[in-house]
Amino acid sequence: MQTIVQRADGDAIRQAARLLLAGEVVGIPTETVYGLAANALSETAVRKIFAAKGRPQDNPLISHIASLDMLPMVVRDVPECAYRLAEAFWPGPLTIILPRARQLADAVCAGLDTASVRMPGHPAARAVIEAAGVPLAAPSANLSGSPSPTTSADVLSDMDGRIPLILDGGACGVGVESTVLSLAGDEPLLLRPGYITAEQLEQTLGCRVALSPAVLNPLKQGETAASPGMKYKHYAPKAEIILLKGPLAAYKAYITEHRAERVYALCFSGEEKALDCPCVTYGRADSPEEQARELFSALRELDTRGARVAYARCPERQGVAMAVYNRLLRAAAFRVVEVS
């Protein structure tokens, strides 16, 4: 199959909608990361997403809607607090989990009785959903296990020959995947941190939001994940990532001591001047938003440059930085070294 990349203008959006309604998979831009979209109401279309990504069958997909009118096609028993969250954060990078609607394709839910839904902030994403007239199931458009794609070129490098069309909507503004909040249990539970922070959610909900232990810890053997995606190795480039937790001076000293061929520093922008090894940067130390926007492209660049090992500077854990920390921790397979 030949894969075409097209700027997301009116014609391309109509073509994408035609392909989607014919049961094909299309790469689409969103404000978080690029998605691999298919008609969420069609079993055969959704199965093609799993095939294109090499995604495990038990990992459910997020359905994307363009307006609240589409919500009943994805979920049911929507509580009042979900509408408050929608009012505050949609369109935008928040995914909500609720009991699933019957008409949703079973493959979207991967055997669960819940479904996840969000209204993306990127206008091209909403235009495609609207033109197709159905909710679109879309995971991140990377091969399963690789860093999520934040440009159409990233999508092409993973999906070339596997899907017919990629819409180019520019580089993603947020850069990490949406915040995932479950409202399907007794209390709101944060399954994946993102640009919308736990503090923001608590403010809108007027109650505490619990943090799933899987956000910061590896699953123990035999444990079942609240969010199946969290049990898989994720966001990992080919290079071995090791997080160094501690001040810049200690980081520098550690790297000097461990210098070797194809060993890289994955540091904050500006710090590369002080380091005597090859460096890839991921945003300024004082800007978690910039770190989020640049992290996945930095991980991909390490592979392009043939890095064997990369020692990463450790992000904070407050606010948006929690999302960056969560992704890096997984890219590093939880390898953290304290330096001082």
Listed residue (8, 336, 310, 1) closest to 147, CA to CA: 310
- C-alpha to C-alpha distance for 260 and 80, rounded to whole angstroms: 57
Strand partners, 94: 179
Alpha-carbon distance of 271 to 40, in angstroms, equals 45
**In contact, 337 and 153? CB cutoff 8 Å:** no
Measured from the CB of residue 340, what is the shortest distance to Mg ion in angstroms?
Answer: 34
Binding mask 192-211 for ligand TXA (x = CB under 6 A): --------------------
326 binds Mg ion (CB under 5 A): no
* Residue 83 CB partners (closer than 8 Å, separation 6+): none
Total number of residues that touch ligand TXA (CB under 6 A): 27
281 near Mg ion, rule: CB under 5 A? no
Member of 35, 91, 147, 283 binding ligand TXA (CB under 6 A): 35
8 A C-beta contact, residue 194 and residue 325: no
Instruction: State which of positions 122-151 bind ligand TXA (CB under 6 A).
Output: 138-140
Residue nearest to Mg ion (CB): 140
To ligand TXA, the closest distance from the beta carbon of 164 in angstroms equals 18
Interface map 120-159 toward Mg ion (x if CB under 5 A): --------------------x-------------------
179 binds Mg ion (CB under 5 A): no
Q: DSSP per residue over 247-272, as a string? A: -HHHHHHHHHHT--TTEEEEE-TTGG
Nearer to Mg ion, 62 or 310 (CB): 62
Binding mask 213-232 for ligand TXA (x = CB under 6 A): --------------xxxx--
Q: Considering the rule CB under 6 A, would residue 112 count as an interface residue with ligand TXA? A: yes
Q: In what order do the strands lie in the sheet with 165-168?
A: 4-7, 165-168, 26-28, 35-39, 136-137, 62-64, 114-118, 94-99, 179-182, 189-192, 210-211
Whichever of 68 and 333 has its CB closer to Mg ion, that residue is 333
Name the one residue in this structure whose structure tokens are 């956000």: 215
Q: Which of 136, 159, 180, 196 binds ligand TXA (CB under 6 A)?
A: 180
Q: Give the nearer residue to ligand TXA in terms of CB position, either 147 or 313.
A: 147
Q: Which residue type does 66 have? A: A
The entry of Mg ion, ligand TXA, none that residue 114 binds, CB within 5 to 8 Å by partner kind: ligand TXA
Please say which residue, 145 or 246, places its beta carbon nearer to Mg ion. 145
Burial class (CB in 10 A: 0-12, 13-18, 19+), 131: middle
Q: Is 285 in the site for ligand TXA (CB under 6 A)?
A: no
Strands (E) across the chain are located at: 4-7, 26-28, 35-39, 62-64, 94-99, 114-118, 136-137, 165-168, 179-182, 189-192, 210-211, 240-245, 263-267, 279-281, 309-313, 336-338
DSSP 103-116: TS-HHHHTT-SEEE
User: Which of ligand TXA, Mg ion, none sits in contact with 45, Cβ below 5 to 8 A by type?
Assistant: none
Q: Least distance to ligand TXA from the beta carbon of 107, Å?
A: 12
**Is 33 or 98 the residue whose CB approaches Mg ion more closely?**
33
Q: Is-contact 64 135, C-beta < 8 A?
A: yes
Nearer to Mg ion, 140 or 178 (CB): 140
* Contact set with ligand TXA (CB under 6 A): 30, 32-33, 35, 59-62, 93, 95, 97, 109, 112, 114-116, 138-140, 177-178, 180, 191, 227-230
* Contact set with Mg ion (CB under 5 A): 140
